[in-house]
Amino acid sequence: MAIIILIAGMMFGAVSFGTSAQAPVSNLFVMDSKTGETTQITDTPSYTNQPYFDVAGQRLLYTQAMPNGQMDIWAYHLDEQFHEQITETALTSEYSPTPINLGSAQTPLTDSPEPFTHISTIQVDPQNKQWLWLYSATGQSVGKLFAQEPIGYHAWVNPRLVVVFVLGEPHTLQLITLVQSISLQQISEKPTSGFAAQSLVLDEGIGASIFVTHSTEQSIGHSTDKSSEQYVIYAKGQSLYRFGLTTKHKQLVGKLPLGADYFTLTADNLVVVNDPSNNQLYQYSVTGISTTSAIDSANALATPTAWHNLACPDAMSATRLAIHANRYIAYVCQAR
């Protein structure tokens, strides 16, 4: 497997910054799973993390530590091979960029094949409050989405439903229901107020990765067709779970490799996780098991399938993952 390391500097396609002592050193790599070619797209002595492809696969969003100590959102353009700074904030930090398209109030936010119009992020303010915040695709701040905090991670279901990781003792998985679909005009009129929202705790003691399975349904809760059920996928320790958003049924679906803290979800609803001991990727089906199996039943466990090996520099392992079209795999390498 060939590794192409891009020399630091914008003109060569990699991004480089000064040293940051606030977060672990990590860098981004992209692998073409058809050819096996792997390219290191950042070369920094700082925190470069949380990759997320837009649906069209044109840009890879990520979180980057800046020389001023703040975190900003950047995007790597895969075809043109250049980096673009999206947010540039002096007093706040932005994490966990998630591209969304607000062109249609009926379209699930992350399922639109059109270029994304906005980015939802976790904004950390000067008081260390952690809000779910909306930015335009070009980095203009729109405003707070709701008053619940501290939010760690999030995954959209549709324009009124978002699943969030809420920090606390213990950390909880919550389903936030906005009273209305996102109105850009309402947010812009009161950018620090947020929408009225209701929260429902789905589970506790969860890990950092949260995903919602893809569906052709425009909304949830109104269909009797169980095949259209959407699931929240998350982990507790090394156990992988799914939570049905219509049935409200929680189910164990598999066991993750020891030490695997992060996973991602493909467009055809396969969970992909890396074994940090050898950087081997595995796939799990989370929709092809019985909905009637009892929780924690051995009969319900999905069987992992070996997929690809990821390349990282010596003494480093792959952590966070993002996948586009089951072909391009973005991943983060950091010290073990």
CB 53 within 8 A of CB 322: yes
pLDDT reported for residue 218: 38
The pLDDT of residue 301 is above 90: no
The pLDDT of residue 158 is above 90: no
pLDDT > 90: what percent of the chain? 62
| Six token digits for residue 1 | 């497997």
- Minimal CA–CA distance to 74: which of 32, 27, 113? 27
pLDDT > 70: what percent of the chain? 82
234 backbone dihedrals φ, ψ, rounded to 5°: -155, 175
Cis? peptide before 24, omega within 30° of 0 = no
pLDDT digits (tens, 9 = 90+) for 190-239: 888 888 999 999 999 999 999 999 874 433 333 334 457 899 999 999 99
pLDDT reported for residue 20: 44
pLDDT band at 112 (very low <50, low <70, confident <90, very high): low
Q: Which residues contact 9 (CB under 8 A, 6 or more apart)?
A: 16
* Spatial distance between the Cα atoms of 17 and 238, rounded to a whole number of angstroms: 35
* Spatial distance between the Cα atoms of 307 and 278, rounded to a whole number of angstroms: 13
pLDDT reported for residue 8: 35
DSSP β-bridge partners for residue 144: 133
| Six token digits for residue 296 | 């924690």
pLDDT reported for residue 300: 56
Q: What is the total residue count of the chain? A: 336
**Range of lowest pLDDT (85-99, 112-126, 282-296, 321-335):** 282-296
> Residue range 140-166: average pLDDT?
93
